[in-house]
Amino acid sequence: MMRVVGLGIVVSVLLTVIRKDIPPIGAQVAAAFVVTALLMLMEPLAGVVRAFAELASGAGVRTVYLALVLKAVAIAFITSVGAELSRDAGEAAIGSVVELTGKVFILLLAVPVIAAILDALVSLLPG
Amino acid sequence: MSLDTRRRVIIRAAARAFLIGSVILAVALGSLPGALAQTGFDRLHQSQTPLTPEEIVSSQIEQLSLEDLDTFVRALDPNVREALPPLDLKRMIFEGEGVEWGALGARIARVFLDEVSLNLSLLGQLIVLGVFCALLKTIASSTRSSEVAGVAVLVSLLALLYLALSAFRSVVATASDTLDQMVGFMLALLPVLSTMLAAVGAVSTAAIFHPLLYATVTGIAALVQNVLFPLVYISAALAVIGSLSKEFPVKQFSGLLRSGTVLILGFAFVAFFAVVQARGAIAPIADGLAMRTAKLLTGAFIPVVGGRIADALDVIVGGSVLIKNAIGVFGMGAIVVITAFPIAKIFSILTIFRLATALVEPIADERLVQAMAGLSGSLTLLLAGMITAALMFFVGITVVVGVGNATAFIR
């Protein structure tokens, strides 16, 4: 945790200089930092997911639901990071497309659940 | 009162008594379901030894057709059938073994606890998923582009709602099945009760009550099945849909449907009571008077054996009262048992819904809470509808039984 925070401070300080003197590599350095930080986050994140899974299996939640929820959040995270990076590089259009992709994939993920809910609702209604 | 009116009243009473008397004689001399009276009377007529009440009642029971009722009981769910009092009228009458209410209560309590523990996993799933949703929402909102995160949270809400909805659906199926069962039972029981009512001498009461109860039972069932339950379903569906989207608020409409359901239910209940009680107050008195006159006429005008026949009439009517009350008690017990198990199930799921909603509310999304509250509100209504229907059937049986007793006592 401390490493990520320290690295973040250092990179931010460096970036103020880099962006002024050599603007072309500013975005690349930022991207490199994000990727490194995410990689460092992998291990604790795996711990969190494992804890969730344990909790869920303890409560008898079907893994389908848990997988659905976790995947949706993961997609949301990844696409939002990508979108922010693109915006940072000054490409707002690309950023919004990345976000859109994320939304589409989450919806795709949710299609079975939505269909099941609609099915349940329709079967409830008379006639 | 003028002499003329009084004469007319007396003539009318005599005509009525003659009618009832002839009906009872016809019943006593054979034919019809009322042939139950035949055996006892014949034996009394042939042998000079006095008959014991047990013999008369037994021979009456033997003649009574309980096939419909028996078939129905045999078709029931084994779990329910086990809890049901045995359809053994002789034992109920002579040994006083009716419905064991204490054991029944204990059994129902056990079923309720079983259902709760069975559905505890549902509670766990709902709560854990609710907590996940809340956690993910806070994590997701830390990223700046919260639109994608919003979609992700919505998806996890959907997963939760699906869980709740499938539980709701199973409850709906149970409720509807139970109502069918209750109606089937009432339709099997009513002919038997009406037969016994006529055998007691409450001929005009039976004539009034049989069609009245038939109409109300089928009417109540149709009302609940075709009007109330659909209203409840629609309000539940609206509550879920309305909670999913902020742009399409239908909360009020759902509430409107719900209060409409309550209103209809209450109105049906009051109307049922009013009709049944009003009818039940008048008819038995008239029947009782007619019976009394019939007995008097039989004793006074039939030469030689008249007095004995009148006494036999008394014993036979008394036996019929016993049988009728036994059937009534069986019917009440059966209605209680048939409804108790599904009600325990619905109630346990309702409890779990309410509990989950209450526990999740401080952390979870407001939409989720709203949807769950809507679903549990609909469940409450479903429960209320079922209990009301059962209560009406119960009261119907009670009134029929009580009315017959009133007739017999006035005699």
Query: Does the distance separating the beta carbons of B149 and A60 come in below 8 Å?
Result: no
Predicted pLDDT of residue B36? 42
Min mean pLDDT across A100-104, B214-218, B309-313 is at B309-313
In B323-408, which ranges are E strands? none
For chain B, the farthest-separated pair of C-alpha atoms sits apart, in whole angstroms, at: 107
CA dihedral B287, B290, B291, B297 (to 10 degrees): -170
Domain, as residue range, for A86: 62-127
Q: Which of B352, B316, B273, B336 is nearest to B61 (CA)?
A: B316
Query: Does this model's pTM top 0.80?
Result: no
Residue B46 binned pLDDT confidence (cut-offs 50, 70, 90): low
Residue A82 resides in a domain: yes
Of the two residues B295 and A21, the one the predictor is more confident about is A21
- Which CA distances in Å does B341 have to B110, B115, B128? 10, 10, 29
**In this complex, which of B151, B156, B236 lies closest to A124 when CB atoms are compared?**
B236
Burial class (CB in 10 A: 0-12, 13-18, 19+), B241: middle
Q: What is the pLDDT of residue B390?
A: 87
Q: Which of B7-21, B74-88, B261-275 has the highest mean pLDDT?
A: B261-275
Residue of B146, B148, B261 for testing the chain A interface, max A β-carbons within 10 Å:
B148
Residues of A in Cβ contact (< 8 Å) with B238: none
pLDDT of residue B38: 46
Give A123's contacts in chain B (Cβ within 8 Å): 169
CA distance A21 to A27: 13
Residue A56 in any domain: the answer is no
Please check whether residue A57 lies inside any domain of the structure: no
Looking at the predicted structure, is the pLDDT value of residue B109 above 60?
A: yes
Do the Cβ atoms of A125 and B234 come within 8 Å? yes
**The residue to which tokens 């997701």 are assigned:** B140
Q: Is the pLDDT score of B58 beyond 80?
A: no
Distance of CA B77 to the CA centre of its chain: 17
Check pLDDT > 80 for residue B308.
no
pLDDT of B45 above 70 = no
> What is the overall mean pLDDT for chain A?
85
- What distance in Å separates residue B166's CA from the closest CA in chain A? 7
Average confidence (pLDDT) over B240-260:
80
Whether B387 contacts B179, CB under 8 Å = no
Helix, strand or coil, per DSSP, at residue A30: helix
- Interval B130-167: pLDDT, tens: 887 787 777 766 666 567 777 777 888 888 888 888 88
Distance of CA B239 to the CA centre of its chain: 30
Distance, in angstroms, between A15 CA and closest chain B CA?
21
Q: What percent of chain B has pLDDT over 70?
A: 75
Q: Which of residues B8 and B258 earns the better pLDDT score? A: B258
CB contact under 8 A, A76 and B234: no
Q: B74 near B319, Cβ under 8 Å? A: no
What's the pLDDT tens digit per position in A33-66?
888 888 888 888 889 888 888 888 887 777 778 8
The pLDDT confidence band at residue B33, using thresholds 50, 70 and 90, is very low
pLDDT confidence band for A29 (50 / 70 / 90): confident
- Give the C-alpha separation, B76 to B98, whole Å: 20
- Identify the weakest region by mean pLDDT among A96-105, B23-32, B261-270, B381-390: B23-32
CA dist., res. B401 & res. B411, Å (int): 16
Q: Which of B159, B165, B233 sits opposite A68 (nearest CB)?
A: B159
How far apart CA B384 and CA A74 sit, in angstroms, is 44
Q: How buried is residue B361: exposed, middle or buried, by Cβ count under 10 Å (0-12/13-18/19+)?
A: middle
Q: Which residue has the higher pLDDT, A7 or B144?
A: A7
Asked whether residue A47 is assigned to any structural domain, the reply reads no
Q: What percent of chain A has pLDDT over 90?
A: 2
Q: What is the pLDDT of residues B194-227, one digit of tens each?
A: 888 777 777 777 777 778 778 888 888 888 888 8
Tokens representing residue B229 in the block = 């339950």
pLDDT digit string, tens, across residues A59-92: 777 777 888 888 888 888 888 888 888 888 888 8
CA distance B325 to B206: 15
pLDDT at B152 (0 to 100): 78
- Complex-level ipTM beyond the 0.95 threshold: no
H/E element, B69 = helix B67-75
Contact present, B85 and B333 (Cβ < 8 Å): yes
**For chain A, how many structural domains are there in total?**
1
- Extract long-range pairs of B254-263: CB within 8 Å, 24+ residues apart: B254/B374, B257/B231, B257/B232, B258/B231, B258/B232, B258/B377, B258/B378, B258/B381, B260/B231, B261/B228, B261/B231, B261/B232, B261/B235, B261/B381, B261/B385, B262/B381, B262/B384
- b/e sequence B247-268, b meaning 16+ C-beta within 10 Å: eeebeeebeebbeebbebbeeb
Do the domain assignments include residue A21? Answer: no
Residue A121: the pLDDT is 81
Taking contacts as CB-CB distances below 8 angstroms, the residues of chain B near A109 are 155
Q: Which residue of B has its CA nearest to A72?
A: B152
Long-range contacts of B355-363 (CB under 8 A, 24+ apart): B355/B123, B356/B123, B356/B126, B356/B127, B356/B130, B359/B127, B359/B130, B360/B126, B360/B127, B360/B130, B360/B131, B360/B134, B363/B130, B363/B131, B363/B134
Distance CA(B61)–CA(B55), nearest Å, equals 10
Query: What distance in Å separates the CA atoms of residue B173 and residue A11, rounded to the nearest whole number?
Result: 62
Tell me which residues of chain B, numbers 236 to 255, contact chain A at a CB-CB cutoff of 8 Å: 236-237, 240-241
Instruction: Tell me if A12 is assigned to some domain.
Output: no
Averaged pLDDT, A85-103 = 87
B27 vs B302: CA distance, rounded Å: 17
Residue B381's CB is within 10 A of a number of other CB atoms, namely 22
Under 8 Å between Cβ of B268 and B222? no
The sign of the dihedral angle between the CA atoms of B35, B41, B45, B46 is positive
| A88 occurs within a structural domain | yes
A45 in any annotated domain: no
Going by pLDDT thresholds of 50, 70 and 90, the confidence category of residue B365 is confident
Q: Is the pLDDT reported for residue B31 higher than 50?
A: no
The rounded distance, in Å, linking the Cα atoms of B172 and B378 is 10
Cα separation, B176 vs B180, in Å, equals 6
* pLDDT, averaged across chain B: 76
